């Protein structure tokens, strides 16, 4: 397992964005797995500026969404995706896990032929999407309770008096591991420790990102 270190955040994002562009240009029905959070914003910024790349045939599956939050709330992942990417390109269809598609989400992904490129960030506790420590390698898309660590990490995005979501819908590890290509991105020194533990340590439910050691086509990208 190799962690590729980049000198700049922008160069790291360029690598991911150019591979997404190639995939979207080459495949007749590309399927992208998309992440939110601060890490992939640079990738979306680059994609949003690609005026000669057309996403009309592209289907997307987002990894997660908070439970109990309005889709117009500025911290909802629907809002995030509109702001950073979806407002700039027309896609065939954008999916998010929600209360009504929860039990179908993994089948929906399979029925498209599977995710061609999956973007992932990593939480400081080793979570992938909202697959918190303790999540099984074979977990399905489901509702999860967020850990205190994640709630604290997220609290910076909410007004002090606002309730912070404590549950979320998340794609499970199983569909993530089925993606044909994965880019795991980590930006910042505060991610280095957990990234190294996940890539070089034991494969364990305590660090769901460690399951990626078993994936056949994952690139692990880091910059500080």
Number of residues written out for the chain: 224
Site residues (CB under 6 A) for ligand PGA, limited to 123-162:
123, 127
**Residues in a beta bridge with 61:** 33, 95
Residue 48: exposure state from Cβ atoms within 10 A (0-12, 13-18, ≥19)? middle
Question: Nearest distance from residue 179's CB to ligand PGA, in Å?
Answer: 16
Beta carbon nearer to ligand PGA, 74 or 93 = 74
CB 142 within 8 A of CB 102: yes
Q: Rank residues 10 and 57 by Cβ distance to ligand PGA and give the closer one.
A: 10
Q: Which of 39, 76, 94, 175 binds ligand PGA (CB under 6 A)?
A: 39
Please confirm, yes or no, whether 190 is among the known catalytic residues: no
The closest of 177, 114, 101 to 143, measured between CA atoms, is: 101
The span of 19-27, 83-91, 116-124, 141-149 binding ligand PGA (CB under 6 A) equals 116-124
Instruction: Rule CB under 6 A: choose which of 8, 11, 29, 38 binds ligand PGA.
Output: 38
C-alpha 67/C-alpha 178 separation (Å) is: 25
**Of the candidate residues 33, 37, 42, 172, the single one contacting ligand PGA (CB under 6 A):** 37
Q: Which is nearer to ligand PGA, 22 or 61 (CB)?
A: 61
Q: Phi and psi (nearest 5°) for 207?
A: -130, 85
Number of shown-chain residues binding ligand PGA (CB under 6 A):
7
**Cβ–Cβ contacts within 10 Å for residue 70, how many?**
11
Q: Which residues are catalytic?
A: 64, 125, 127, 132
């Amino acid at each position: 397992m190799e962690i590729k270190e980049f000198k700049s955040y922008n160069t790291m994002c360029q690598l991911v964005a150019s591979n997404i562009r190639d995939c979207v240009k080459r495949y007749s029905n590309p399927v992208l797995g998309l992440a939110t959070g601060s890490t992939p914003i640079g990738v979306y910024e680059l994609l949003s500026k690609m005026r000669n790349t057309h996403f009309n045939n592209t289907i997307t599956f987002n990894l997660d969404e908070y439970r109990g939050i309005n889709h117009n709330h500025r911290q909802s992942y629907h809002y995030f995706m509109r702001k950073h990417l979806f407002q700039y390109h027309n896609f065939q269809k954008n999916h998010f896990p929600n209360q009504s598609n929860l039990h179908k989400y993994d089948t929906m992904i399979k029925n498209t032929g599977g995710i061609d490129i999956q973007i992932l960030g990593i939480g400081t506790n080793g979570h992938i999407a909202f697959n918190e420590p303790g999540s099984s390698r074979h977990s399905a898309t489901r509702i999860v309770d967020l850990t205190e660590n994640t709630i604290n990490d997220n609290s910076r995005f909410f007004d002090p008096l606002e309730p912070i979501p404590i549950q979320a819908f998340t794609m499970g590890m199983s569909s993530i591991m089925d993606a044909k290509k994965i880019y795991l991105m980590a930006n910042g020194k505060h991610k280095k420790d957990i990234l190294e533990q996940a890539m070089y340590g034991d494969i364990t439910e305590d660090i769901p990102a460690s399951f990626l050691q078993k994936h056949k086509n994952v690139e692990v990208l880091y910059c500080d």
